Structure 1
Amino acid sequence: MKRLPLLVLLFAAFGARAQSPRPVVTARVEPDSVMIGDRFDYIIEVEKDLVQVVRFPVFQPGENPGALVLVEEAPVDTLLREGRRMKLRKRYRMAVFEEGHHDFGTAEVFYADKNIVDTLRSENDLTLNVTTFQIDSTSQSIYDLKPQRALPFRLGEIRGYLLWGLLAAIGLALLAAGVLCWLRRRGSTLGGLFAAAPALPPHVEAIRALEELHNRKLWQNNRHKQYYSGLTDILRTYIARRWEIGAMEMTSDEIIAAMRSIELPDKARADLTTILRDADLVKFAKATPDAGQNEADYLKAYYFVEETKPATEQAEETPDNR
């Protein structure tokens, strides 16, 4: 029984040796006095055992708005490592925008070792002195902004621009004179260069429009309504220009009635009526013509224009058989 106290003392001494010493935290600011808005370094150093875990503080944006601002945070740096001991450093680049003496208190580091979780603090308090510019209004007078000063104008400043502008004007004048001489030799005028191209005859415009419509292959892609709308619009435009009838604003029945007073070949009149009736069925009754009817209505429109174009145009296109 006398040996029990001795065993307790031995176990206590072994436990004290097994437990690592607590980390040592030191902190400082460099420099400790700055001008307002200048940057400084907030430095925390921890000397600890290899197995001990420490976590440096995290400065969140907006914690102290208007005064302390975190500019840059450097990664943790290892300064020393000897056996199981190591020394770490964490550097924060900061700025202060309020004048005065700032007391940051002690630096805090989170610490964990086996079953121990604690917060370690540095021994010294961190302070920073922030100064600003001192304006002595007694020795320095404050004046208003001076008005803009008008400098004298010098011809040499724009002489080069004037010379090049004069040469360009002479060149343009010579070019214009050359164009006028060329036009006079050809018996033309300057206005003739910018005259609008003469309008195509109604039948030429209609034939070109029909050929373009045919090349679009609308009904081949089941777009029958667009096909017949284009076909009738071409005929309406042709009738309006050829006989000066307001066909664009008329219904099919009104167009047929208006064309009764026009001298037309019987086949052309019948073809026009057929095209307009077929188009109304497609556009308003949702009829779907077959391929033969689509091609037949196109040919009827084509030959209607050919058979009703002005007689002078037909005579010019007819070859001389004498």
Structure 2
Amino acid sequence: MESKMNRNIILIALLALLSVGKAAAQSVTVEAKIDSLQILIGEQAKVQLQVAMDAKQRAIFPTYTDTLVRGVEIIETVKPDTQFLNDRQRMLITQEYIITSFDSALYYLPPMPVTVDDKVYKSKALALKVYSMPVDTLHPDQFFGQKPVMKAPFAWEDWYGLLACSFLALPLLGLLIYLIIRIRDNKPIIRKIKVEPKLPPHQAAMKEIERIKAEKVWQKGQPKEYYTELTDTIRTYIKDRFGFNALEMTSSEIINQLLEMNDKEAISDLKLLFQTADLVKFAKHNPQMNENDANLINAIDFINETKQPEEENQKTQPTEITVIEKRSLRVKAMLICGIALLSAALIGTFIYIGLQLYNLFV
């Protein structure tokens, strides 16, 4: 009795193991479908391979290169899509292949193998019929030749970049030409204007006489240069002080004009100065040292005796504008670098414009 019970228990265990193995074997299903059984040459079809299995299992799909079978090409292998079922106990993985063919025939698509936990499962086989384009050879007049090349419609968007570069190139080119002219003429890019108050006539004359005294030209054997500078200073003073152009008048004309405006004592010393100067300049007279000093003193006395009296509320003298055009080596180097950069920018701009024109018209 006891041995019989043991045999029944063993039999029941074996049956349970067989049922579990059978259930496990049936837990994986592989199915292949095609969305169109018939296509024209060059058209596309979609092959769908689905695998249903437990969530803990691992599947390996077949790997194809360029063709599914000879004559059927794979255009694209879509990324697999995974769906979980039965509270994430099961999952359904879908793999799609987009195929086409360029030869008319009936193609046999063999079963597609899928490896699940080192065991190979296969789908059912598929078929694909590829038809060629029907051609009516009995009516050749219905065939049309090549279409002529159509011109693209005009669009302003195609010209925006070209126009922008053209408008940019014009001021750059103008600036480059300006800089080249400035560096060629050795002139700065921007002139610095220095505004200085204009000195009264007697102060300007005394400043010039002090310079002549400091240089002592007469001691260097140059009496002509000395008297020329001294008389030019007096002539300029007379022009600014009395208002007539003494620079264009002879010595006698200046004296006569002054006699009509001032006392004779102030003019007498000036007359002696002009006479000595004329002798030195035109008769090669060589005056003595004390004579040169005396004439310098005569010029100073004339200025002091005829200068305009300074008033407390005297109006401000007009200003002198001096243009400074000196350029340092550093500025010159920066100018050359700017010219080089502008030249490179212009060359690049012109190359871009040329390429754009070539693409638009060729």
Normalising by the smaller structure, the TM-score range is: 0.3 to 0.5
Higher RCO (C-alpha 8 Å, min separation 6): 2
Larger gyration radius, structure 1 or structure 2: 2
